[in-house]
Amino acid sequence: MNILKNYKLKINNLDCANCARIIEENLNKDEKLENVIINFSKSTISLNSEIDNITDYLNKKIEKIEDGVTVSEKEEKNKSKYLINLIIGIALILISLIIKNKVINEIIIIIAYIVLLEKTFIKAMKSLSQKIMNENFLIVISCIGAYFVDKKMEGLMVIILYTIGKILEEKAVYKSRKNISELMDIKVEKANIKKDNNIIEIESSKIKVGDILVVRKGEKIAVDGIIVKGETSLDLQSLNGESKPKEVEKGDEVSSGSINLEGVIEIKALKEYKDSNVSKIINLIEEATDKKAKKETRVSKWAKVYTPTVFILSILVGTLLPIITDLSYKESIYRALTFLVISCPCAIAISVPLAYYSGIGKSSKEGVLIKGSDVLDYLRKIDTICFDKTGTITTGNFKVKKIISLDNKYNENDIFKYIYNAEIYSVHPIAKTILDYKKEKKIKINNLKEYTGKGITYEYNDKKYKVGSKKFTKYNEEEKENTYIYLSIEDNVVGYIELEDEIKSNTKDIVNSLKKNDISIYMFSGDKKEVAEKVAKKVSIDNVKYEMLPQDKYNEINSLKKENRIVSFVGDGINDALVLKVSDVGISMGLKGTSAAIEASDVVIMNDDISKIKKGIDISKKTDIIINENLILAFTIKVLILTLSIFGISTMWQAVFADVGVTLIAILNTLRILKGKKN
């Protein structure tokens, strides 16, 4: 039995989004291929198949569908399919204008038609063989029809303008792809490593854990590591959108993709390239651009019926106008042919996926990783955001304020030791604060058990220990406004550690900014009422839920969704994974967030700055506006020219503009998403 393999390959010379859709649909009908996705914006094709020599198989299949499009392991330089034919065709037309002999002149014009229409004709026939009617077929019919209704030169000019438009479209698509690729260019191909007192250059993929990397000024760090020699400033803009350099020195951990701004530093690799930060970001972006939004899917479905519908209407125009008006068939056929030129849905088919891809690219540059165009589309619809308190509203960097003993049998060191030995086994973020406060000798404990969101129990020297919340340890005294970890021995609370958590400096501003955008803000916390309400008041959040377990957060999110709200949850802990998954848009913290939270979320904030949420929403709104502008422009111009052609006002020249010209305008308009001031 053959194993189903995952493939991701480059698809070359694909400059038509409608053609990409047709190829994708046809390949998905093949029983040997599964889950075929063509990412037009990135020129990639991904699929599952048991076939070993997949590139040869795909190239044979695609050759029957679309002329000149190929699949390869690595990207090949795109070559224009039209340029040589265009030059020869124009030369023949110029010669025909000089020669006076009618017979020779006619032969030259026919040859010019053949040369100029060759590529388009081949593409049209291949599409028809697959029972697909596309723009190439309609252009061929229009130009040949123009020849027979004695509009020979106009037919030639239509194919010339169409060909020039296709060449410009190729350039525009390539330029937009290049701009987006440069925007997300964080990959590090090669690195210098120290080996036997020599410095050698190797591919980043071959770096092993423990290798010593030498990073010079201006170079990118290839893999995640720790500085073992030197100090410098790092540019992290490509990772999290922050323009302020980060000062680092010996002993500091550094992330792949960072740029060294000063002297030479040496870094010990802590991860291989495939596990490093930059590799994960690239993978997230690539996966994101393969996921299509509902609007993108709807446009694709609409495009399939648009062309045949216009073709049928053109037949009706050509046959009915002479019956209901005094037009001749020659005139009505010309108007019908003009109809055909307009019928390509390229402007619509190309601008929508390109806009989503641009939005995802722009977001990633701002330090906001969005996992798919469907998520990008949903961001703008959010009307309710629920923030987890610790690690999102607050820094999550708890500090030990004091250690208190409530029993003379145990001093402060004892209290800390017994709590420390419980927190070693905890996944709660607060545990790290205790472990970082000071190193404590590990004791041999038995029967350890963790109760999620409550605490830990264990046995030591035949006594039962409880470490956790006031309720869990059954402490009866009134608490103040900070966070506490209590220690109970044999059901008697003998002491506690008081902790303080800092609120992020910009939280209040971003909360007020989101409120101004008519977004309801909630804060969820596992902390007691006093602590939660104190934090919420400081950051202007009115809706506070406290003493919540993961299941409580889950139930609350579902309750809000039942009110027909579009709900986003923002969290960073392993216990937030369930809630991130169930919310409409789950947002996790990429810097201090757990792997489970990042995996479960739809959006990752790379530097944990919640102001980036507003930035992501703004990019989502801008993307939607530009998509709508492109759709309205395309529909309006096409409908206008179609209507005018019926009345004989517009000619094939205007029809070419309604097709190719509008496509170019849509592409250029889409590139506006990539512009704008960075935060």
Q: Summarize pLDDT for 196-212 with one digit per residue, the tens.
A: 878 898 888 889 999 99
Task: Mean pLDDT check: name the lowest of 51-65, 78-92, 506-520.
Answer: 78-92
Highest mean pLDDT of the ranges 84-98, 115-129, 294-308: 84-98
Tell me what pLDDT residue 564 has.
92
Q: What is the DSSP code string of 135-175? A: HHHHHHHHHHHHHHTT-HHHHHHHHHHHHHHHHHHHHHHHH
Q: What is the mean pLDDT of residues 439-443?
A: 88
Tell me what pLDDT residue 291 has.
54
The token duo for 180 is: 């987006």
Read off the pLDDT band of 153 (50, 70, 90).
confident
Highest mean pLDDT of the ranges 346-350, 351-355, 367-371: 367-371
Read off the pLDDT band of 181 (50, 70, 90).
low
Query: Quick check: pTM over 0.75?
Result: no
Tell me what pLDDT residue 513 has.
93
In the predicted structure, residue 405 carries a pLDDT above the cut 90: yes
Tell me what pLDDT residue 679 has.
47
Rounded CA-CA distance 73/43 in Å is 12
In the predicted structure, residue 475 carries a pLDDT above the cut 70: yes
Domains in the chain: ranges and CATH: 5-72 (3.30.70.100), 190-284 (2.70.150.10), 368-395+504-617 (3.40.50.1000), 399-500 (3.40.1110.10)
Tell me what pLDDT residue 313 has.
84
Task: Report the 10 Å Cβ neighbour count for 537.
Answer: 11
Task: Mean pLDDT check: name the lowest of 111-115, 175-179, 644-648.
Answer: 175-179
Tell me what pLDDT residue 401 has.
87
Q: How confident is the prediction for the chain on average, in pLDDT?
A: 83
Rounded CA-CA distance 395/389 in Å is 9
In the predicted structure, residue 344 carries a pLDDT above the cut 70: no
In the predicted structure, residue 293 carries a pLDDT above the cut 70: no
Rounded CA-CA distance 679/479 in Å is 41
pLDDT tens digit sequence for 550-569: 888 989 999 999 999 999 99
In the predicted structure, residue 127 carries a pLDDT above the cut 60: yes
Tell me what pLDDT residue 497 has.
93
**Angstrom distances, CA of residue 58 to CA of 64, 156, 280:** 10, 35, 28
Rounded CA-CA distance 532/272 in Å is 41
Tell me what pLDDT residue 240 has.
53
In the predicted structure, residue 285 carries a pLDDT above the cut 60: no
Task: Mean pLDDT check: name the lowest of 25-29, 233-237, 255-259, 485-489.
Answer: 233-237
* 491 is known as an active-site residue: no
Residues 6+ apart with CB under 8 A from 462: none
Tell me what pLDDT residue 650 has.
80
CA neighbor of 245 nearest in space, from 230, 257, 233: 233
Q: What is the mean pLDDT of residues 219-240?
A: 82
In the predicted structure, residue 392 carries a pLDDT above the cut 90: no
Tell me what pLDDT residue 406 has.
93
In the predicted structure, residue 243 carries a pLDDT above the cut 60: no
CA neighbor of 376 nearest in space, from 617, 581, 138, 636: 617
Residues 6+ apart with CB under 8 A from 453: 526, 548, 549, 550, 575
pLDDT tens digit sequence for 569-586: 998 877 788 888 889 999
In the predicted structure, residue 512 carries a pLDDT above the cut 90: yes
Residue percentage of the chain with pLDDT more than 90: 24
Note whether 42 and 177 are within 8 A (CB): yes
**Which residue did the predictor score with more confidence, 480 or 196?**
196
Residue percentage of the chain with pLDDT more than 70: 87
Tell me what pLDDT residue 602 has.
87
Residue with token string 């004709």: 121
**Which residue did the predictor score with more confidence, 126 or 609?**
609
In the predicted structure, residue 535 carries a pLDDT above the cut 70: yes
Task: Mean pLDDT check: name the lowest of 239-248, 408-417, 494-503, 519-528.
Answer: 239-248
Angle between helices 152-183 and 135-148 (to 10 degrees): 160
Read off the pLDDT band of 275 (50, 70, 90).
confident
Note whether 341 and 652 are within 8 A (CB): yes
Give the neighbor-by-neighbor strand order of the sheet with 399-405.
Answer: 399-405, 492-500, 483-489, 463-468, 455-460, 446-451
In the predicted structure, residue 397 carries a pLDDT above the cut 90: no
Read off the pLDDT band of 138 (50, 70, 90).
confident
**Which residue did the predictor score with more confidence, 381 or 137?**
381
Q: Which of 15, 235, 388, 602 is catalytic?
A: 388
Read off the pLDDT band of 295 (50, 70, 90).
low
Q: What is the mean pLDDT of residues 121-149?
A: 80
